[in-house]
Amino acid sequence: MIRPHGSDSLMPLLVEEPARLKALQEEAVNLPSMMLSSAAAANAVMLGAGYFTPLKGFMGKADALNVAEHMHTDSGLFWPVPVLNLTTEGEAPAPGSRLALRDPNVDGNPVIAIQDVEAVEVLSDDEVGFIAQHVYRTNDETHPGISTFASLGRVVVSGPIEVLNLSYFETDFPATFRTAVEIRADIEKRGWRRVVAFQTRNPMHRAHEELCKMALEAVDADGILIHMLLGKLKPGDIPADVRDAAIRKMVELYFPPNSVMITGYGFDMLYAGPREAVLHALFRQNAGCTHLIVGRDHAGVGDFYGAFDAQTIFDESVPEGALAIEIFRADHTAYSKKLNKVVMMRDAPDHQKEDFVLLSGTRVREMLGAGEDLPVEFARPEVARILMDHYAQETATTT
């Protein structure tokens, strides 16, 4: 099986040994505590679940600046996005202390992790802008990732952590949420050697379905990992439980048996475009996948990134050998009226725009909100029904 990133074996930080877990839970009662941001809590979940192997905790200022500018830590570890615990000055702990980190996303704010505080450092305005510009390629606060990053505080609390639980993901998504450890074990149990990962924060329509099948055939893979983001999104995105139901119905009806693993991971969307695509590749490698589909405007938002910037970053900025996973480069995919099938648009040079069934995200939401059927060339009817029911319920609760 493909090796994890930067390590011979996965390094999940979730404490599972009962005696150690009990001791840490008891210790946490008497420790000073800190309320995490949702972003930092998501980082803790990814560290706990092994997706962020080989990191041992939250980065310090030097690592964050190096990762932002050069995509590697001070020690030379390739990494595309800073993994930070940011807070405000009034809440900053003392260096050398142990700190109980509280979960903002669970009622009662239980302790999600314990951190050994190695350093407490302050980012200047220029350094905040520097990180944002390099990671997000913008400082425009209309970008949802920038607005979130700007709200997190300037104090960097760094140091290793031990994770006590995986937040709400295991309880809210018991059939879907899986750690990198669990996915690797399932891949090994199935005897799969080549596995294609498909990242999604949206429901999957016909084009996504066919793209997965194209990639499966093109790389001669044994199976597909449909890996959906289960954490926080921007307003207007489809909730995770609705996406989950729609994807499961699509796979049940339209994929060969035992060819797909439907799973999810606990992370908040960054909308960082190219840099997030590289992060997606890294933690899919940690999950045991050999290939990741990177399509048009992967992890993007609005017009902040070029259509294929998330592909070219692998050529221009990822050093050879930095990642073992390979990228399957996909074009915009749509239903061809001339060929009566879904194709990548680059493979149909004789087509005009009107030869494809193309719907914008806005138009899809308008049709669903109005209870209109989506074209069968665009969405499977059974999938569209789940989405229509969701939008009908949303409309009913807001009127």
Q: Is 202 a catalytic residue?
A: yes
pLDDT tier for residue 368 given thresholds of 50, 70 and 90: confident
Range of lowest pLDDT (48-52, 77-81, 361-365): 361-365
pLDDT tier for residue 398 given thresholds of 50, 70 and 90: low
Tell me: the pLDDT tens digits for 256-291? 999 999 999 999 999 999 999 999 999 999 999 999
Run of H or E residues at 86: strand 86-87
With contact defined as beta carbons under 8 Å apart, do 314 and 327 qualify? yes
Nearest Cα to 46, choosing from 3, 91, 79, 92?
Answer: 79
For helices 61-70 and 125-136, give the axis angle rounded to 10 degrees.
Answer: 40
Q: Which residues contact 100 (CB under 8 A, 6 or more apart)?
A: 28, 31, 32, 33, 34, 111, 114
Query: What is the value of pTM for the model shown?
Result: 0.94
Which backbone phi and psi does 301 adopt, to 5 degrees? -155, 140
With contact defined as beta carbons under 8 Å apart, do 2 and 68 qualify? no
d(CA 104, CA 106): 6
What's the Rg (C-alpha) of the chain?
21
Given a cut of 90, whether residue 369 has pLDDT beyond it is no
Among 201, 248, 365, 385, the one annotated catalytic: 201
Pick the CATH number of 18-167 from 3.40.640.10, 1.20.58.340, 3.10.400.10, 3.20.20.70: 3.10.400.10
> What six digits make up the tokens of 281?
């590749």
pLDDT at 370: 83
Q: Is 201 a catalytic residue?
A: yes
Residue 4: left (phi > 0), alpha (psi -120 to 50), or beta? Answer: beta
In the sheet that holds 195-200, the strands lie side by side as: 260-265, 223-229, 195-200, 291-294, 326-329
Omega into 381 within 30° of 0, i.e. cis?
no
Given a cut of 80, whether residue 26 has pLDDT beyond it is yes
Locus of tokens 């001339």: 338
Residue range 134-148: mean pLDDT, rounded: 96
d(CA 176, CA 170): 8
d(CA 161, CA 97): 12
pLDDT tier for residue 219 given thresholds of 50, 70 and 90: very high
Enumerate the domain spans of the chain: 18-167, 176-265+271-398
Residue 153: left (phi > 0), alpha (psi -120 to 50), or beta? Answer: left
Range of lowest pLDDT (184-193, 309-318, 387-396): 387-396
Say what percent of the chain tops pLDDT 90: 81
Among 154, 193, 202, 385, the one annotated catalytic: 202
Range of lowest pLDDT (110-124, 179-193, 249-263, 378-392): 378-392
d(CA 296, CA 174): 31
With contact defined as beta carbons under 8 Å apart, do 34 and 102 qualify? yes
Helix (H, G, I), strand (E, B) or coil at 3: coil
Tell me: the pLDDT tens digits for 170-196? 999 999 999 999 999 999 999 999 999
CA distances 10 to 50, 75, 287, Å, are 6, 19, 9
d(CA 77, CA 79): 6
pLDDT at 399: 59
> What six digits make up the tokens of 352?
């005009």
CATH number corresponding to 176-265+271-398: 3.40.50.620
d(CA 275, CA 269): 12
Given a cut of 90, whether residue 132 has pLDDT beyond it is yes
Strand partners, 333: 344
The rounded Cα 237 to chain-centroid distance in angstroms is 14
CA torsion sign for 107, 25, 163, 166 is negative
Locus of tokens 């995919």: 333
